[in-house]
Structure 1
C-alpha cells in the first residue's frame, strides 16, 4: 500500500517517525490509555521504538496504515489512529490521544478524515470499518457514535488485554452510512 498523509484545517495525519518515539512513550505511559488498550503496560521506550521501526512499516505494507495525529504539519505526535485490515473490503479502526490533547475535537476530525480516505475508491476502497472497545470505554464510544458508527452488540470476552479476556463493544460504519450521530448505543 502507498503511504499517504491526510489533513484538515485542525488535524494532520502522517506516519509516525523516529522523532515521535519519546512523545509516544510518554503518552502511552498514561494509566487511562493502559486501561482501555491492548498495549503493553508499563509502556517502555523499547515498545515505542518497536512500534515505529517495525509495526508501522509492516502495517503500511499490509493494508493496515497507522498515522500519528498532529495539531500542525510539523507538530509533535499527540495520538495515533490506524486501520487494521480484516479483509480486502473491511478494516478495524483503533485510536488514542495523549491526555492533554483530549476533548478538543482532534479525534473526531482524525476519524472523519481516515474514514473518508478508507471509503474512497481512490483511497482504500473499503465497504466496512469496525470499531471495538472494552465495555465501559465511553470516551471512545462517544466519538464513534457521533460519527455514525452503528452499535452491533457486546462480544463476551471479545478482546484480549495482556493475557486477560474482556468483554467488548462492537460497532461499524458502512461506506453508505450517514456520518451523523445514531441512537442504539449503551448508556
Structure 2
C-alpha cells in the first residue's frame, strides 16, 4: 500500500526508519512496555532490526501499516502505532507510548488519526478495527474509548503472554460508529477511571 503520513497538527505519524533505531530500543527497554505489549524481552538492537525486517517493511508492502508517533514532523520517536490486517475489511490496532510521554492525550490523538485513515474510502476502506489489551491496562482502554470503540467483552485467560495465560479485554469500532467518546458502551469500571496510566 502507499505510504501515508498522518497529522492533526499536534502529533505526526510517519513510518519508522533505521535512524529511529536507538530511540525505539530505549523506549522498549522500559519495563512497562514489555509488561503490557508482546514485544520481545529483553529488547536490543537485534530485536529492533527484526521489527523493521519482519513488520515495518512487509506491513507497508501489504495492508498492515506501522507508524512512529512523533511530536513534530521531523521529531524523535515517542511511540508506535499500527494496524494489523485480519481480512480484507478488518484490522486490529496496537500501540505503545514512551513512559515519559504519557498523560498528554497524544495516544488518543494518534488512535483518532489511524482510525480516520483506516475507515476512509481513500485510505484502507475498513469496516472494522478491533482492539485487545491485557486486563488492567486502563490507559490503553481510555485511548480507544475516546475514539468510538465499544467494549465487546472479557476473554478469560484469553492470551498466552511470556508463558503465562492472562485475561484480555476486547473492543472494536465499526465504520458506522461515531468517532467521539463511547463511555456508555463500556462497563462502569472504565467510566471516569483514575487508574494509574499503564500504557498509551
TMscore range, shorter length: over 0.9
Number of the residue aligned with 1:120: 120
Q: Deviations over 1:120-162 (max 9, x none)?
A: 0110000100010001111101111111110000112222322
Residue 28 (1) aligns with residue 28 (2): yes
Q: What residue ranges of structure 1 are gaps of 5+ in the alignment?
A: none
1: CA distance, partners of 2:171 / 2:11: 24
The alignment of Structure 1 onto Structure 2 pairs a total of residues equal to 187
Number of the residue aligned with 1:185: 187
Q: Deviations over 1:8-40 (max 9, x none)?
A: 110111110001111101001111111100111
TM-score by length of 1: 0.96
Number of the residue aligned with 2:194: none
The DSSP-based 3-state class of the residue aligned with 1:109 is helix
Q: What residue ranges of structure 2 are gaps of 5+ in the alignment?
A: 190-200
Greater shift, 24-33 or 43-52, is seen at 43-52
Please state how far the C-alpha of 1:81 moved relative to its aligned partner.
Answer: 0.2
Please state how far the C-alpha of 1:186 moved relative to its aligned partner.
Answer: 5.5
Please state how far the C-alpha of 1:180 moved relative to its aligned partner.
Answer: 2.0
2: CA distance, partners of 1:160 / 1:7: 35
TM-score by length of 2: 0.90
Task: Mark the CA change 1:148 to 1:74 in structure 2 (over 3 Å): closer, same or farther.
Answer: same
The DSSP-based 3-state class of the residue aligned with 2:154 is strand
2: CA distance, partners of 1:145 / 1:186: 13
The DSSP-based 3-state class of the residue aligned with 1:173 is strand
Let me know the Cα RMSD of the aligned residues. Answer: 1.1
2: CA distance, partners of 1:140 / 1:186: 16
Number of the residue aligned with 1:152: 152
